[in-house]
C-alpha cells in the first residue's frame, strides 16, 4: 500500500539521495531476522512467529507519520523489515504442514496468489489516499489492514506437533541455524531471480511519474495482477513436469521481459512491461519454494524456508541499491538499468544447467 508513495515522501524531507535504501534497508533487516524466524518457527510454533511479524507491520505503519527526519524514516524502514523477516517464513512452513506432498507446487502457487492479490489492489488504494487525503491517512490505513491480519491469525490453530516453550536461549543462533544445506541451490537461484524485483520497486515509481502516470500504484497492479495469472497454473504444472523445467522457462521469460523495458516510452508500454515481468516471476516463484521444501527434511522446514528467504531478501535489497546506483536519478538510464538486470537474470540458466529434480530421501 505505501511503497509507491515512499520515494516522494522521502524526497519531501530531503532524502532524495537515499531512495535506494527504501527497499534496501527493509530487506537487510528481513534477511538478518530470517535465522531467528526459521529457528523459532521450528521450535515454538508457526503461529507465534506469524503473529509477531504481523504486529510489526501494525506498529511500523503507525510510526511513519512521526518520521520528520531522514534518519528517523530510515530507522522505521529498518524496523519494518522484521515483519517480512518473520511472517512469510512461518506462513510457508504452516502451509507445507497442511497440504499433500504431491500438490505442494499448487499450494505454493495459491499462497502466492493470495499475497499478490493484496499487493495488486493495495498500491493504487495507497496512492489514492495519499493524493486525495494525506500521506498520514495512507499510513494509518496500512496499519489498520495489518491489524485485521492479526485478528485472522488469532483464529488459526498451530500445526507444529512438538512445540517448545519460548526461552531466551532459543535466540542464540548457531552456524547451522543460518543456512540449511538442502536449500543452498534453490537459494542461489533466488539470488538471481529477485534482483529485478528490487530494481522495479526502486526505480519503477520514478519511471511511472516520468511517463506521466498520476497513480503510480497502477504499475504494481499490472505486475502483481499478471503474476497472479501465472501462479494459478505454474505451481500445479511444476507438480507434474518438475521444478527445474518450469524454472528454466521462467528465466527465459524474465530475460525477455527485462529487455523489453529498453523500448518503453509510454505509460501503456510500461504497464505491459511490468505485467510481463510479473507473469514471468510468477511462473518461477511457486516452483522455487516447492523445490526448497522437496529437498529438505520435515523437521527443518522453517530453517530451509528461512534460507530461501534470506537469499530472496538479499537479492531484492541488493537489486534495489544497485538499480538506484545505475539509475542515479537520470531518467535517460531507465532502459539501460533493466538491460543490466536482464544479463544478471541470465546467470540463473547456468545455476540450473544439468540440474534434475532430485529430492532428499525422507
The answer for residues whose C-beta is within 8 angstroms of residue 73's C-beta and 6 or more apart is: 9, 10, 13, 15, 64, 67
pTM, rounded to two decimals: 0.73
Q: Report whether 279 contacts 249 (CB < 8 A).
A: no
pLDDT exceeds cutoff 50 at 90: yes
Cα–Cα distance measured from residue 41 to residue 178, given in angstroms and rounded to the nearest whole number: 13
CATH superfamily, domain 3-158+177-351, is: MFS general substrate transporter like domains (1.20.1250.20)
Task: Specify the pLDDT at position 84.
Answer: 80
pLDDT tens for residues 125-167?
Answer: 998 999 999 999 999 999 999 999 999 999 899 998 888 888 8
Extract the C-alpha cell encoding 257.
521481459
Distance between first and last Cα of the chain: 41
Cα–Cα distance measured from residue 65 to residue 326, given in angstroms and rounded to the nearest whole number: 30
Q: Report whether 306 contacts 187 (CB < 8 A).
A: no
At which residue does the C-alpha cell 493524493 appear?
131
pLDDT exceeds cutoff 60 at 94: yes
pLDDT exceeds cutoff 60 at 51: yes
Which is nearest to 179 in space by CA: 314, 343, 77?
314
Going from the C-alpha of 77 to that of each of 56, 60, 246, 362, the distances in angstroms are: 11, 8, 34, 40
pLDDT tens for residues 197-211?
Answer: 999 988 998 899 899
Quick one: pLDDT band at residue 58, thresholds 50, 70, 90? very high
Task: Specify the pLDDT at position 91.
Answer: 92
Cα–Cα distance measured from residue 294 to residue 298, given in angstroms and rounded to the nearest whole number: 9
Task: Specify the pLDDT at position 130.
Answer: 92
Task: Specify the pLDDT at position 19.
Answer: 81
Question: ∠ at Cα 87 (19, 223), nearest 5°?
Answer: 50
Q: What is the mean pLDDT of residues 253-280?
A: 95
Extract the C-alpha cell encoding 168.
531466551
* Total Cβ atoms within 10 A of residue 117: 14
pLDDT exceeds cutoff 80 at 15: yes
Task: Specify the pLDDT at position 359.
Answer: 43
Task: Specify the pLDDT at position 358.
Answer: 52
Quick one: pLDDT band at residue 360, thresholds 50, 70, 90? very low
Task: Specify the pLDDT at position 96.
Answer: 87
pLDDT tens for residues 202-250?
Answer: 899 889 989 998 777 788 888 988 988 898 788 888 888 888 999 999 9
pLDDT exceeds cutoff 50 at 290: yes
pLDDT exceeds cutoff 90 at 52: yes
Q: Report whether 288 contacts 189 (CB < 8 A).
A: yes
Extract the C-alpha cell encoding 362.
525422507
Task: Specify the pLDDT at position 101.
Answer: 82
Q: Report whether 145 contacts 117 (CB < 8 A).
A: no
Cα–Cα distance measured from residue 117 to residue 344, given in angstroms and rounded to the nearest whole number: 28
Within 110-220, strands assigned E span: none
Q: Report whether 330 contacts 16 (CB < 8 A).
A: no
DSSP-derived 3-state class of residue 93 = helix
pLDDT exceeds cutoff 80 at 176: no
Q: What is the mean pLDDT of the chain?
A: 88
Task: Specify the pLDDT at position 270.
Answer: 94
Q: Per-domain residue ranges for the chain?
A: 3-158+177-351
pLDDT exceeds cutoff 90 at 320: no
Range in 115-119, 225-229, 251-255, 353-357 the model is least confident about:
353-357
pLDDT exceeds cutoff 90 at 88: no
Task: Specify the pLDDT at position 357.
Answer: 64
Task: Specify the pLDDT at position 361.
Answer: 37
Amino acid at each position: 500500500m505505501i511503497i509507491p508513495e515512499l520515494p516522494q515522501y522521502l524526497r519531501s524531507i530531503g532524502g532524495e539521495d537515499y531512495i535506494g535504501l527504501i527497499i534496501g534497508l527493509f530487506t537487510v533487516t528481513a534477511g538478518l531476522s530470517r535465522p531467528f524466524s526459521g529457528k523459532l518457527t521450528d521450535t515454538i510454533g508457526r503461529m507465534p512467529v506469524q503473529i509477531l511479524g504481523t504486529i510489526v507491520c501494525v506498529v511500523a505503519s503507525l510510526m511513519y507519520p512521526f518520521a520528520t527526519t531522514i534518519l528517523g524514516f530510515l530507522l522505521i524502514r529498518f524496523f519494518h523489515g522484521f515483519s517480512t523477516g518473520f511472517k512469510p517464513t512461518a506462513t510457508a512452513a504452516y502451509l507445507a504442514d497442511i497440504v499433500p506432498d504431491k500438490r505442494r507446487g499448487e499450494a505454493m502457487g495459491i499462497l502466492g496468489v493470495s499475497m499478490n492479490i493484496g499487493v495488486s489492489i493495495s498500491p493504487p488504494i495507497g496512492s489514492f489516499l495519499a493524493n486525495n487525503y494525506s500521506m498520514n491517512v495512507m499510513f494509518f490505513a496500512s496499519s489498520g489492514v495489518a491489524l485485521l491480519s492479526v485478528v485472522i491469525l488469532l483464529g488459526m490453530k498451530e500445526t507444529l506437533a512438538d512445540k517448545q516453550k519460548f526461552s531466551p536461549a532459543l535466540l542464540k543462533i548457531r552456524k547451522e541455524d543460518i543456512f540449511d544445506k538442502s536449500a543452498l541451490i534453490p537459494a542461489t537461484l533466488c539470488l538471481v531471480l529477485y534482483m529485478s524485483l528490487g530494481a522495479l520497486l526502486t526505480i519503477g515509481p520514478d519511471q511511472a511519474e516520468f511517463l506521466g502516470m498520476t497513480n503510480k500504484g497502477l504499475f504494481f497492479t499490472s505486475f502483481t495482477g499478471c503474476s497472479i495469472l501465472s501462479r494459478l497454473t505454474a505451481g500445479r504444472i511444476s507438480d507434474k513436469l518438475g521444478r527445474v523445467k518450469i524454472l528454466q522457462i521462467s528465466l527465459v521469460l524474465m530475460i525477455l521481459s527485462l529487455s523489453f523495458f529498453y523500448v518503453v516510452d509510454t505509460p501503456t508500454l510500461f504497464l505491459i512491461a511490468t505485467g510481463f515481468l510479473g507473469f514471468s516471476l510468477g511462473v518461477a516463484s511457486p516452483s522455487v519454494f516447492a523445490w526448497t521444501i522437496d529437498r529438505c527434511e520435515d523437521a527443518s522446514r522453517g530453517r530451509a524456508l528461512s534460507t530461501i528467504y534470506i537469499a530472496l531478501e538479499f537479492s531484492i535489497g541488493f537489486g534495489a541499491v544497485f538499480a538506484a546506483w545505475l539509475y542515479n536519478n537520470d531518467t535517460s538510464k531507465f532502459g539501460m538499468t533493466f538491460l543490466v538486470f536482464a544479463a544478471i537474470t541470465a546467470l540463473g540458466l547456468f545455476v540450473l544447467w544439468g540440474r534434475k529434480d532430485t529430492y532428499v530421501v525422507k
